[in-house]
Amino acid sequence: MTDQFPYPGPTGGQPEPQTPNGYGVTPPPPVGAYSAGYPYSYSQQPQNWPPAYPAAPKKGMRTGTIVGLVLGLAALAFAAMFIAPFLLLKWATSGVDDSIDNLTGGKTEQILADQLDVTIGEFTVENNGSYVDTSLEVTFYNKGDERETFRVEIEAVNSDGDRIETDYISVEHLDAGQTSTEVVFDVVDENIVDELESAEFRVISVSTS
């Protein structure tokens, strides 16, 4: 009986390989072990043995990913350079357009529906011999929620719808719920007084400031 340890195995002095639990095959040998009697080399490893390292991605896959990222970044850069300034300009000019509409009568219907009631009275003529006094009383009621200044244009038209004359009135600082009566057509050409007496008067423009 010899004192040699470990006991020589059937492979000629090398320890007999152990089979790992759950796989049922001989584990791959360490480097250089194939020449020492191990039954498998790395190139001969059984197909059902788990790989030692994950497979490297294919070159074509890496190239496609990089190209996709570059195109995505280019699209974002395009949006930042062209689309974003356009949207910002549109947002900024929308507020300017609203202000212009308020000042020029572009929102007349909306103002009359939400903020101002206008009641037009009777056109009157008083002949004092040397001159003619004319007037048209108009009542304004602020039905909105805030104090506002209204600038109103009123026209006089004949029975055919043709305009005879126009006049403007500014109703300053009219509080919410407040009523004000103003006079228009108090300075007119004497040659159109007769036409004005039979004319129809109507609001054609309202603006706020």
In the chain, the amino acid numbered 96 is V
pLDDT value at residue 53: 53
Does a structural domain hold residue 10? no
- Exposure of 63 in the CB half-sphere (CA atoms within 13 A): 3
Task: Tell me: do 118 and 204 sit in the same domain.
Answer: yes
Q: Peptide bond before 6: cis, by omega within 30 degrees of 0?
A: yes
Claim to verify: residue 46 and residue 81 sit in the same structural domain: no
pLDDT at 35: 46
> b/e map of 46-56 (b: 16 or more CB within 10 Å)?
eeeeeeeeeee
Claim to verify: residue 86 and residue 121 sit in the same structural domain: no
Q: Which residue has the higher pLDDT, 31 or 89?
A: 89
Give residue-wise pLDDT tens across range 5-50: 454 555 555 555 555 554 455 555 555 444 445 454 445 555 555 5
pTM over 0.85: no
Q: How many residues make up the chain in this entry? A: 209
pLDDT, one tens digit per residue, over 171-196 is: 999 999 999 999 999 999 999 999 99
Structural domain harbouring 63: 56-104
Q: What is the pLDDT of residue 73?
A: 80
The answer on 194 and 140 residing in a single domain is yes
pLDDT reading at 114 higher than 60: yes
In a domain, 65, yes or no: yes
Which of 19-33, 92-106, 135-149 is predicted least confidently? 19-33
Q: Which of 104, 120, 141 is the last residue of a domain?
A: 104
